[in-house]
Amino acid sequence: MNGRPRSDGGGDEWKKYVKAFDAFPKQREEAAEFFHRSVSGGVITIVTAILMGLLFLSELGLYLKHTTRNTLAVDTSRGETMAIHVDVTMPRLPCSWLSIDAMDVSGDVHLEVNDHGLYKQRLNRRGNVVQEPELHEFGPKEKKEVKEKDPNACGSCYGAETDQKKCCNSCAEVREAYRKKNWSLSNVASVQQCVDEGVTLELDAQRGEGCRMYGDLTINKVAGNIHIAPGHSYQQGGLHMHDLTPFIGEKPFDLSHTIHRLAFGIEYPGMKNPLDGHKVRQKPLPIQTMEGGIPAGGAYQYYLKVVPTKYVTIGNSTINSNQYSVTETYKDPIPGTYSQLPGVFFFYDLSPVLVTFQEERRSFFSFITSACAIVGGLFTISGIIDSTVYSGQRLAKKKMGIGKLS
């Protein structure tokens, strides 16, 4: 060892090179007295700070808010079913007079769809609830209120007997026997089983009431229709028929209705159903009765184009649903014929296009970039404004000092 003290100069060399890149040179403390603060500079600073705060909060709100991106593609799904939610009120027709039927182009037919989660709720003339809702079924609660009978009894099927079914011990069994024969049960008052069960009494007892029908049903994902119409429904010779003979002598059917909700599939954020809240009041009919003295009634027809829709949330959970557009038409009853069934009809068809809604959110780095741009941009602009104002003030003072500014 030579005893020389170790030099630390080499360790500080890198600091000198780094200082050369300093873009923010500092004012020496002894030179702080050269800084000059002005009223205009203070006002500009306060305004700039407020604008920075407001714009930062706005940018933060945009960052926290979800945006939705839409894409279109061909719907390749096959063999699926579709859920429909129905909520319709008929204020001028009783529940015991109405049937809800669903059918599609595949040949699937649901007559008086009481095997689905559809309910009927009786309403009085003022629209108040008369009794608790019940599962949809035409006429009275035949299966629930039939009195116990002799198990060995064999009621008449009124000409509709078959080798497999020779006895009809309830009104429902008579109806079913007629349906299998493709016959119309034209006069339920002549059927003893229906009289014993109070079918005609039920129709009379609810005269003047209204009905709310609501619930869900699952159907094939193909074109079809759902309709609400008076009378018992049945198939005859491949045709869909409604038995309106029990209403002969009644006033014309008032098919005024309110569609509280009609949705195809599960609700997703931003879902809009065009028919929700739609109200219709029937106008005066040109005729009072149709062929055979059957009360007249118009046909309200809604043609819906159902578009398969997929909604993907920010958490990557998927909601498969549908949206639809609608066109509405109305047909008056045709004089002298019974070729048009009165009722409310929903004809739907499926679009081959699948719409996908994808929730998105701005990245955090994008938010930081925008926030820094706001702060830096406003700081720079405010500095330019302050410099311009300050220079203008100094120039004005100089001119006033030499008397050039009056």
pLDDT, tens digit, 9 for 90 and up, residues 266-298 = 999 989 999 999 999 998 887 777 776 788 888
3-state class of 182 per DSSP? Answer: coil
Q: What band does 146 get if pLDDT is binned at 50, 70 and 90?
A: very low
Collect contacts of 104-111 with beta carbons under 8 A, ≥24 apart.
104/219, 104/220, 104/222, 104/223, 104/224, 104/225, 105/222, 105/223, 105/224, 106/220, 106/222, 108/219, 108/220, 108/224, 109/235, 109/240, 110/217, 110/219, 111/179, 111/233, 111/234, 111/235
What does the pLDDT average to over 34-41? 69
236 CB burial (10 A radius; 0-12, 13-18, 19+): middle
Inter-residue contact 62 to 71 (CB < 8 Å): no
265 CB burial (10 A radius; 0-12, 13-18, 19+): buried
Inter-residue contact 304 to 346 (CB < 8 Å): yes
CA dist 329 and 301 (Å) reads 5
Is the pLDDT at 232 greater than 60, yes or no? Answer: yes
Nearest to 346 by CA among 362, 361, 364, 327: 327
Query: Picking from 21-35, 139-153, 155-169, which range would have the lowest pLDDT averaged per residue?
Result: 139-153
What does the pLDDT average to over 48-69? 87
Is the pLDDT at 43 greater than 70, yes or no? Answer: yes
Return the pLDDT at 3: 52
Is the pLDDT at 139 greater than 50, yes or no? Answer: no
Return the pLDDT at 143: 40
Return the pLDDT at 299: 92
CA dist 137 and 197 (Å) reads 14
CA dist 194 and 73 (Å) reads 54
Return the pLDDT at 296: 85
Return the pLDDT at 344: 96
Return the pLDDT at 308: 94
Q: In DSSP terms, which residues pair with 348 in a beta bridge? A: 224, 304
Region for residue 112 given its phi and psi (left: phi exceeds 0; alpha: psi -120 to 50; beta: otherwise): left
Return the pLDDT at 275: 96
Return the pLDDT at 311: 95
Q: In DSSP terms, which residues pair with 246 in a beta bridge? A: none
Nearest to 218 by CA among 265, 181, 162: 265
Mean pLDDT of the chain: 81
Please name the amino acid found at residue 321.
S
Which carries the bigger pLDDT value, residue 368 or residue 143? 368
Is the pLDDT at 49 greater than 80, yes or no? Answer: yes
Nearest to 275 by CA among 232, 210, 226, 328: 328
Q: What band does 138 get if pLDDT is binned at 50, 70 and 90?
A: very low
What does the pLDDT average to over 200-218? 82
Nearest to 163 by CA among 177, 152, 173: 177
Q: What is the DSSP string of 292-361?
A: GGPBP--EEEEEEEEEEEEEE-TT--EEEEEEEEEEEEEEPPPTT---S--EEEEEEEE-SEEEEEEEE-
User: CA of 351: how far to CAs of 73, 227, 310, 322, 382, in Å?
Assistant: 11, 21, 14, 10, 56
Is the pLDDT at 211 greater than 60, yes or no? Answer: yes
CA dist 259 and 278 (Å) reads 5
Query: In this prediction, what percent of the chain has a pLDDT beyond 70?
Result: 79
Is the pLDDT at 309 greater than 70, yes or no? Answer: yes
Query: Picking from 69-78, 107-116, 248-257, which range would have the lowest pLDDT averaged per residue?
Result: 107-116
Query: Picking from 32-36, 59-63, 99-103, 137-141, which range would have the lowest pLDDT averaged per residue?
Result: 137-141
Query: Picking from 185-194, 245-254, 377-386, which range would have the lowest pLDDT averaged per residue?
Result: 185-194
**Paired tokens of 379:** 């700081």
What does the pLDDT average to over 295-320? 92
What does the pLDDT average to over 68-83? 88
Is the pLDDT at 140 greater than 50, yes or no? Answer: no
Dihedrals phi, psi of 17, to nearest 5 degrees: -65, -40
Return the pLDDT at 300: 96
CA dist 168 and 150 (Å) reads 13
CA R_g for the chain: 39
CA dist 65 and 359 (Å) reads 10
Is the pLDDT at 33 greater than 80, yes or no? Answer: no
Return the pLDDT at 365: 87
